[in-house]
Amino acid sequence: MSLKTCNKAEEANLYTLEVSIDGQTFNDAMNKAFNKQKNRIALPGFRKGKVTRKMAETFYGKGFLYEDALDICYPAAVEGAIAEAGLDVVGTKSADIKEIGEDGVELTVDIYVKPDVAIKAYKELKATKKKVEATEEEIKDKIDELVHRNARIISVEDRAAQDGDIAVIDFEGFVDDVPFEGGKGENYELKLGSGTFIPGFEDQIVGHNPEDAFDVNVTFPHEYAPELADKDAVFKVKLHEIKVEEFPEVDDEFAQDAADCDTVDDLKKQLADEIKSEKEEANEREIRTQLFDKLVENTEGEIPPVMIDSEIENQVRDMDYRLSSQGMNFQTYLQYMGMDMDGYKAQARPEAEKAVKLRLALEKVAALEAIEIADDDLEAEYDKYAEQYKMEKDQIKKIIPVDGLKKDMAVEKAIKVIRDSAKVTTARKPRAPKEKTEAAEAEAEAEASAE
């Protein structure tokens, strides 16, 4: 196998490789292809598995193994040619077989290489951040969260269910007197007014007392599962118990129990520090976003479409994983969003293009800064991954190749170069429009009279 020629095509970042697979290599691949399927080949008068390759070729023709054989030797041939050409390939556009037979294979492959982008500026980029402070309202919200988190749940027996109560119910749903999948539950704790169930369901529990058995009549929303959308349903409900949340009083004892603070004032100070810390982190994320946006604006270069397509596929896989972890599949999500996969990918394309361009820009900054990763730093990074995933370092190295990790670490260092040199200012709050009070009007009239 060898690279015959490597030529730059007219299209940006596209090269055409002429690749040759010698006859011996191709013949070995045909033997492998035949051995994989010989137990399935039957000829008149012969049992399966007893047919020789020569007999099969006589019956089916010599070319019947060509496609499978090429599948076997094509990857190594193309990878070897790419390595020989010294190209940083990001994808294949097309492949064309020129000749194929017992003497070998001649083919051409059009491949896209990673573009060399140009950056107008990456240092001293400007960004703004918000002023970091903790308002009284924000501190109060944090205290309210603690209060709700430390609430006691108690049972109520002397009244009917109200909004805000927790109703412990059994239920079973029927459409046209037939129970449907997922429509049954026992001792289910439903907070009334939460909107957890189908619209109208929780409202019809309000007013009932423990041990009441009753029907709840609802209509499934239009955007519900296709088999139930817009259909009327009857739920047989048994109310077992009514519970309410009992909230603690905010005093020094609460501060000690809820947050290990001596006093309420200490608690407020601790919460104020937490709020400021959260805002600092949010500020830093926003600063990075602004700097990345400016870096992308300052970056020029033609990006091969295959790189954007690949990034879109990565985003689809990530979304599919997140949805599956929440118990939803991608097709159901697309139905809720009112689009198909092509529509989703079209919507994702601008962000995918931006992500690809940003990565290329950061890699370019790493190159311009001559960033190198020391062996000690590389091993330390592998140690972090091993600790994080509770795996042996050698296993981590098999999963995360050295070259890929070095590039990622260099990109992180490039980000630090950009961030450290950035000019960040604190954004001013817009002034509220000045209202014309009676006093202001009187003052204006006085000034006019004086003139």
User: Could you report the per-residue pLDDT of 136-157, keeping only the tens digit for each?
Assistant: 999 999 999 999 999 999 999 9
Residue type, position 71, single letter: D
Q: What is the DSSP string of 192-254?
A: TTS--SSTTTGGGTTT--TT-EEEEEEE--TTS-TTTTT-EEEEEEEEEEEEEEEPPP-SHHH
What is the mean pLDDT of the segment spanning 197-213? 95
In a shared domain, residues 166 and 77: no
What is the mean pLDDT of the segment spanning 191-208? 94
Share of residues in the chain with pLDDT > 70 (%):
95
Backbone angles phi, psi at 118, to 5 degrees: -115, 140
Q: What is the DSSP string of 82-100?
A: HHHHT--EEEEEEEEEEEE
User: Could you report the per-residue pLDDT of 40-92, keeping only the tens digit for each?
Assistant: 887 877 777 778 888 888 888 989 999 999 999 999 999 999 999 999 999 99
In a shared domain, residues 191 and 271: no
Tokens (6 digits) for 165: 């109560």
The residues, ordered by sequence, that sit 6+ positions from 329 with a Cβ below 8 Å of its Cβ are 320, 323
| Domain end point (choices 51, 84, 113) | 113
Tokens (6 digits) for 75: 């990857």
What is the mean pLDDT of the segment spanning 249-270? 96
Cα 329 from Cα 322, distance rounded (Å): 9
Tokens (6 digits) for 163: 């909004």
In a shared domain, residues 182 and 100: no
In a shared domain, residues 403 and 292: yes
The answer to whether 357 and 299 are in contact (CB under 8 A) is yes
**How many of the other CB atoms lie within 10 Å of CB of 256?**
15
Q: What CATH number did the domain enclosing 216 receive?
A: 3.10.50.40
In a shared domain, residues 270 and 218: no
Q: What CATH number did the domain enclosing 98 receive?
A: 3.30.70.1050
**How many of the other CB atoms lie within 10 Å of CB of 416?**
12
The mean of the pLDDT values for the chain is: 92
In a shared domain, residues 335 and 403: yes
Cα 350 from Cα 356, distance rounded (Å): 10
User: Could you report the per-residue pLDDT of 364-411, keeping only the tens digit for each?
Assistant: 999 999 999 999 999 999 999 999 999 999 999 999 999 999 999 999
Question: Strands of 2-8's sheet, edge to edge?
Answer: 2-8, 14-22, 104-113, 89-101
Give the SS3 label for residue 451.
coil
Q: Give domain status of residue 255, yes or no.
A: no
**Domain span at residue 30?**
2-113
Residue among 231, 251, 129, 132 nearest 174 (CA): 231
Across 114-136, b (16+ Cβ under 10 Å) vs e yields bbebebeebeebebebeeeebee
Residue among 398, 375, 371, 373 nearest 385 (CA): 398
In a shared domain, residues 399 and 275: yes
Residue 438 in this model has a pLDDT that exceeds 70: no
Q: Give domain status of residue 440, yes or no.
A: no
In a shared domain, residues 384 and 282: yes
Q: Give domain status of residue 257, yes or no.
A: no
What is the mean pLDDT of the segment spanning 222-249? 91
- 3-state SS of 398-432? HHCCHHHHHHHHHHHHHHHHHHHHCEEEECCCCCC
In a shared domain, residues 274 and 233: no
In a shared domain, residues 240 and 307: no
Q: Give domain status of residue 390, yes or no.
A: yes
Q: Give domain status of residue 436, yes or no.
A: no
* H-helix or E-strand spanning residue 153: strand 152-156
DSSP assigned state of 313? H
Q: What is the DSSP string of 90-146?
A: EEEEEEEEEEEETTEEEEEEEEEE----EES--SS-EEEE------HHHHHHHHHHH
Domain count, the chain: 3
In a shared domain, residues 52 and 16: yes
Question: Angle at Cα 129 formed by Cα 125 and Cα 130, nearest 5°?
Answer: 170
**How many of the other CB atoms lie within 10 Å of CB of 393?**
12
The residues, ordered by sequence, that sit 6+ positions from 220 with a Cβ below 8 Å of its Cβ are 198, 228, 229, 230, 231, 233
Q: Give domain status of residue 196, yes or no.
A: yes
Q: Give domain status of residue 133, yes or no.
A: no
In a shared domain, residues 292 and 160: no
What is the mean pLDDT of the segment spanning 151-174? 95
Cα 85 from Cα 19, distance rounded (Å): 11
User: Could you report the per-residue pLDDT of 79-121, keeping only the tens digit for each?
Assistant: 999 999 999 999 999 999 999 999 999 999 999 999 999 999 9
| Domain end point (choices 113, 141, 160) | 113
Q: β-strands 118-119, 166-175: how paired? A: unpaired
* CA-to-CA separations, 41 to 64, 65, 351, in angstroms, rounded: 12, 12, 50
Q: What CATH number did the domain enclosing 410 receive?
A: 1.10.3120.10
Q: Give domain status of residue 449, yes or no.
A: no
pTM: 0.74
The answer to whether 69 and 21 are in contact (CB under 8 A) is no
